[in-house]
Amino acid sequence: MNGADAGPAGVPEAHGGVVLSTARLEMRPLSPAYLPHMRALYEDPRVTEFLVALDEAGHLRRLIEAEEMWASRGLGRVAIHERGSGRFLGRGGLHHWPQFDEVEVGWALRADAWGRGFATEAARAWLEWGFANLDVPYFTAYIAPDNAASRSVAARLGMSVLRTDTFHGRDVLAYALHRGRPRRQTS
CATH value at residue 82: 3.40.630.30
Give the Å distances, CA to CA, from 12 to 7, 19, 34, 155. 8, 11, 8, 32
Residue 4 lies in a domain: no
Q: Amino acid identity of 20?
A: L
Radius of gyration (C-alpha) of the chain in whole angstroms? 15
d(CA 117, CA 1): 16
pLDDT at 9: 36
Residue 9 lies in a domain: no
Residue 28 lies in a domain: yes
Residue 7 lies in a domain: no
d(CA 119, CA 162): 21
Residue 3 lies in a domain: no
pLDDT at 184 over 90: no
Question: In this predicted model, what pLDDT tens digit does every residue of 159-179 receive, in sequence order?
Answer: 999 999 998 888 999 999 999
pLDDT at 143 over 50: yes
Task: Give how many domains the chain has, as a whole number.
Answer: 1
pLDDT at 115 over 60: yes
154 vs 54, more confident? 154
d(CA 73, CA 67): 10
- What is the model's pTM? 0.86
Q: What are the residue ranges of helices labelled H in 43-117?
A: 45-48, 56-73
Which pLDDT band holds residue 19 (cuts at 50, 70, 90)?
confident
Contact 124, 158 (CB under 8 A): no
pLDDT at 17: 42
- The range of the structural domain enclosing residue 94 comes to 15-178
Q: Centre a 10 Å sphere on the Cβ of residue 26 and count the other Cβ atoms it contains.
A: 23
